[in-house]
Structure 1
Amino acid sequence: MKRENKTFDELQVGDTAELRRVCTADDLFVFATASGNHNPMHLPGYDLDNDGRKDEVTAPAMWVGSLISAVLGNILPGAGTLYRSQTLDFHARAKAGDDLVVRVRLSQKRPDGTVVFATTVHREEPVELLLSGEAVVAAPQVKLTYEEQDIPGLLVQRHRHFDALVARAEPLAPLTVAVVAPEEPNSLGGALLAARHTLITPILVGSRAKIEAAAKECGESLDGVEILDVADHTAASNMAVDLVADGRAGAVMKGHLHTDELLRAVLRKERGLRTGRRLTHIFVMDVPGLPHPLLVTDAAINIQPDLVTKIDIVQNAIDLAISLGIAQPKVGVLSAVETVNPQIASSVDAALLSKMAERGQIVGGMVDGPLAMDNAIDIAAARTKGIVSPVAGRAEVLVVPNLDAGNMLAKQLTYVSHAEGAGLVMGAKVPIILTSRADSAQARLASCAVAAIHQARIAGEAEARDA
């Protein structure tokens, strides 16, 4: 957009300009980051007036005031304007979602080259004065006509898909979860955080002394939480699986122990949790900028899966995606190429999985492959390659060739694209919540939400069949 400023000589008393702006939740995150003001009154997700609503977000008054500078610096007088002073009187509060109108009116020209503007900010609907004041600025002395700068965009590292999953899981009956060896602050804190959000009812299985020490370290209370004192990790894993076998728990959660110790108990022949389907790991990734969660599988269990294992990998991912609200998941089976090359085994497997889905051997989703990463998730890349498919460019599930590729992809999304990943193992009788010591509290919370939502769907379908 071409812009032109007004110099001091061109300005006339009575000149006016206005700017319209919608206040969004992302604006408030950006302002909190830039200003350092993290007052929860101004951030989504808090219910500070205890009315049960978390969507009534009050915009910081200084963010509203800062909009005046956008009119002065961009429109009137425009480029070259420098502030001398600004008064602000706040009459009402803006909230996320409000349509705001920012106006300035030139009221005085001074001999020293400064000018005075009356400034206001109104809410458009319902009409209400939010702010009034007076700005004194040094007006431009040099005439400038210029193209408005294409400044770099900002990526708000906000995980709205996980927020939605947690909100969806909170009204459900809490899922009773056997938490194995939550003997350090991260694993214990994640379970207790999920309990506070009413996602789970934890049964802590491990060394009582270590669990209590971890609770003290992270300032958590264990009041009302059941603890089964088992010092040995193998014994703790077996006891957690026994709780599921006995009907006391509906999921298992990994704490501070090795994954293989837990899975040995899950896969034992007596009182294990086998179903006849392979255990497979699924990351549910919340990637900023993507309009949907992205499922990546298998990144943690099956090292070099053969075709038979990949069938279960795909089917487990489809089942979980359906639980998360994706009616017909679009599954992209990844390879280095998007055409079948007999020299690249993953491309052959991908083509076979796609055909098996067409023939009903894999059900519930649309499966296509081989697809390279670009044309699996980017519609423009798919069109450039001439790929015509309901999956290409729109994949909601990515099936990787092996564990190396899956682990690298998930960690690239996490550390380069600022994604959060919830981890779940499918294929057992109940979900297995698999978290890492490096996981954030948000990732642990989302993992519990995903497990609770999936298990609620499975339970609901079982009740419907029994009825």
Structure 2
Amino acid sequence: MQFIENKTFDEIKVGDRADLTRRLKPQDIELFAVVSGDINPAHLDAEYAQSDMFHKVIAHGMWGGALISALLGTELPGPGTIYVTQNLNFRRPVGLGDTVTVQVTVTAKDAALHQVTLDCLCTNQDGDTVIQGQALVIAPDKKVRRPRVALPEVHLHDRGDGFEDLIRATKDLAAIRTAVVHPCDELSLGGALAAGDKAIIHPVLIGPKAKIEATAAQIGRDLTGIEIIDTPHSHAAAETAVALAREGSVDMLMKGKLHTDELLRPILNKETGLRTERRLTHVFALDVPHYPKPLLVSDAAINIAPTLQTKRDIVQNAIDLARAIGISVPKVAILSAVETVTATLPSTLDAAALCKMADRGQITGGVLDGPLAFDNAVSKAAAETKGITSAVAGDADILVVPDLEAGNMVAKQLIYLAGAEAAGLVLGARVPIVLTSRADGVLSRLASAAIAQLFVHSQQGEQRS
């Protein structure tokens, strides 16, 4: 076991010195900003920093001061030291990638007060002085030797950062003409207008005009120049939107303030709806803080107890969406409670069949493996512990769940316990359908619209090919 040990006042001699070396990483700056609350853009905004006097992102000045404090508190004098005063002279900035060496040297001792004076010097990799100063401390009079405390792991995650990447990916794409169905509450109308502001969609608002305008007034938005199709109620709004999609006037639907069943009913109409040879399936796109990439979960909202053929469509729709958002060869984990084919667990039999269907070309564009339990689908360590050798295990892009109950639980647990942000899309109809929850905020609605836009352009590109 490693120990941390101090030097008592009597052990310290003038001329004693200690040093430590640290390389400045982006996470050092972010962690210091989180702890201190100092969000000066010179430290956190690369674009701003280029225009600032140093023309680069630099560390907080007190990051170097904190290194001096760490050296005093752990090495010289070490545990039991009490800070009295510290002065610092900041000579040069410390930039990302710079290596800083901190050195403290004892210059004087005061036996009456048990005080020690130390010169403090921080230099960079070129030997240039970046910080210089002097510390006055009360040195400990008792020997301390303790086990070195292991620091907790810290995982930094900008909430919704993965979704911001998706939104940025739509920057050069043409906006998609989108029927926004009954946007008569602040969230659904605000989300649609925000997507319009970012040129993700060209919104066509469908519903009672007076209600839509009243909602716009509540959120302080001007609807000048935005097309509104007046309908008497939400049922009529859904039917009108489906008719527009069927005739090719819009390329996407977006759910507003109405029940999902109310929107799906005209979509599923065999005569006038938007059905194709594919089953309609829902895909959750999740930005999970501790997962390094987008995670798709399907189906957690439409198909209650899917058959094998329906699961084939669930898998294919999810693969098509993953490819549209930039995953060239999606890795698909077919989930069950175990990772072995078991006759008494039908989901394991379906998983094995789906993998064979992919081998035979009945499912294309991705790599499938299953059955896999949730842990070894998303954790390489769990997969290795169980001796699973697989291109998918521990690195899944898509989780295909056994049924709606399992999928809904998986998605909601990731959202409410793991802090995931969720976007939602329904595929398998003639046009994609942005299907968000009433509780979803603007970012989720923007991300859903962005994913749908990427999907539409991907499909149009394939048709041209």
TM-score between the two structures when normalised by the length of structure 2: 0.87
2:334 maps to what in 1?
A: 333
SS of 2:446's partner is helix
Deviation at 1:267, TM superposition (A): 2.3
Opposite residue 293 of structure 2, the aligned amino acid is: H
Task: Write the deviation string for residues 187-241 of structure 1: whole angstroms up to 9, x where unpaired.
Answer: 2222233333332232222233333343344444445433333341111122223
Contact 2:170 2:454 in 1 (8 A): yes
Q: Which has the larger radius of gyration?
A: 2
Contact 1:206 1:233 in 2 (8 A): yes
TM-score between the two structures when normalised by the length of structure 1: 0.87
SS of 2:376's partner is helix
Contact 1:157 1:418 in 2 (8 A): no
Deviation at 1:268, TM superposition (A): 2.8
Pair 301,85 (structure 1): closer, same or farther in 2 beyond 3 Å: farther
1:345 maps to what in 2?
A: 346
* Matching of residue 22 in structure 1 with residue 17 in structure 2: no
2:397 maps to what in 1?
A: 396
- Which has the larger displacement, 32-41 or 358-367? 32-41
Opposite residue 86 of structure 1, the aligned amino acid is: Q
Contact 2:332 2:392 in 1 (8 A): yes
Opposite residue 83 of structure 2, the aligned amino acid is: Y
Question: Which runs of no fewer than 5 residues in structure 2 stay unpaired?
Answer: none
1:148 maps to what in 2?
A: 148
Task: Write the deviation string for residues 286-320 of structure 1: whole angstroms up to 9, x where unpaired.
Answer: 11222221111101111111111111001111111
* Matching of residue 418 in structure 1 with residue 419 in structure 2: yes
SS of 1:83's partner is strand
Pair 259,61 (structure 1): closer, same or farther in 2 beyond 3 Å: farther
Task: Write the deviation string for residues 56-101 of structure 1: whole angstroms up to 9, x where unpaired.
Answer: 7665444554343333333443322333233445556556x44341
- The within-5 A match list for 1:244-259 is 244-259=245-260
1:85 maps to what in 2?
A: 85
Contact 1:295 1:398 in 2 (8 A): yes
SS of 1:284's partner is strand
Opposite residue 14 of structure 2, the aligned amino acid is: Q
Task: Write the deviation string for residues 89-147 of structure 1: whole angstroms up to 9, x where unpaired.
Answer: 5556556x44341524336334123334444556658x876554443333333333343
- The within-5 A match list for 1:441-456 is 441-456=442-457
Contact 2:32 2:63 in 1 (8 A): yes
Pair 64,316 (structure 1): closer, same or farther in 2 beyond 3 Å: farther
Task: Write the deviation string for residues 271-295 of structure 1: whole angstroms up to 9, x where unpaired.
Answer: 5322210110111111122222111
* Matching of residue 430 in structure 1 with residue 431 in structure 2: yes
SS of 1:374's partner is helix
SS of 1:195's partner is helix
Deviation at 1:410, TM superposition (A): 0.5
Contact 2:205 2:229 in 1 (8 A): yes
C-alpha distance in 2, partners of 1:102/1:247?
66
C-alpha distance in 1, partners of 2:101/2:221?
47
Opposite residue 302 of structure 1, the aligned amino acid is: N
Contact 2:41 2:49 in 1 (8 A): no
SS of 1:424's partner is strand
Contact 1:280 1:313 in 2 (8 A): yes
- Which has the larger displacement, 152-161 or 33-42? 33-42
C-alpha distance in 1, partners of 2:39/2:220?
22
SS of 2:329's partner is coil
* Matching of residue 105 in structure 1 with residue 107 in structure 2: no
Pair 242,342 (structure 1): closer, same or farther in 2 beyond 3 Å: same
Deviation at 1:458, TM superposition (A): 1.5
Pair 109,239 (structure 1): closer, same or farther in 2 beyond 3 Å: farther
Contact 1:19 1:71 in 2 (8 A): no
Task: Write the deviation string for residues 161-201 of structure 1: whole angstroms up to 9, x where unpaired.
Answer: 32322222223222232222222222222223333333223
C-alpha distance in 2, partners of 1:56/1:187?
40
Q: Count residues in correspondence.
A: 457
Pair 369,115 (structure 1): closer, same or farther in 2 beyond 3 Å: same
C-alpha distance in 1, partners of 2:192/2:63?
37
- Which has the larger displacement, 300-309 or 231-240? 231-240
- The within-5 A match list for 1:167-186 is 167-186=168-187
SS of 2:282's partner is strand
C-alpha distance in 2, partners of 1:420/1:237?
27
Contact 1:98 1:124 in 2 (8 A): no
Contact 1:280 1:426 in 2 (8 A): yes
Pair 186,384 (structure 1): closer, same or farther in 2 beyond 3 Å: same
1:66 maps to what in 2?
A: 66
Contact 2:285 2:297 in 1 (8 A): yes
Pair 135,436 (structure 1): closer, same or farther in 2 beyond 3 Å: farther
Opposite residue 361 of structure 1, the aligned amino acid is: Q
Deviation at 1:36, TM superposition (A): 4.0
Task: Write the deviation string for residues 28-79 of structure 1: whole angstroms up to 9, x where unpaired.
Answer: 54444433455666545x855898xxx9766544455434333333344332
2:463 maps to what in 1?
A: 462
Pair 285,15 (structure 1): closer, same or farther in 2 beyond 3 Å: same
Contact 2:281 2:314 in 1 (8 A): yes
C-alpha distance in 1, partners of 2:236/2:50?
44
Deviation at 1:242, TM superposition (A): 3.2
Opposite residue 346 of structure 1, the aligned amino acid is: S
C-alpha distance in 2, partners of 1:2/1:98?
29
Contact 2:275 2:430 in 1 (8 A): yes
C-alpha distance in 2, partners of 1:28/1:131?
17
2:302 maps to what in 1?
A: 301
SS of 1:274's partner is coil
Could you tell me the percent identity over the aligned residues?
48
2:229 maps to what in 1?
A: 228
Pair 457,130 (structure 1): closer, same or farther in 2 beyond 3 Å: farther
Opposite residue 137 of structure 2, the aligned amino acid is: V
C-alpha distance in 2, partners of 1:90/1:462?
61
Opposite residue 411 of structure 2, the aligned amino acid is: A
- Which has the larger displacement, 81-90 or 177-186? 81-90
Pair 235,59 (structure 1): closer, same or farther in 2 beyond 3 Å: farther
C-alpha distance in 2, partners of 1:40/1:260?
47
C-alpha distance in 1, partners of 2:284/2:181?
20
C-alpha distance in 2, partners of 1:290/1:417?
10
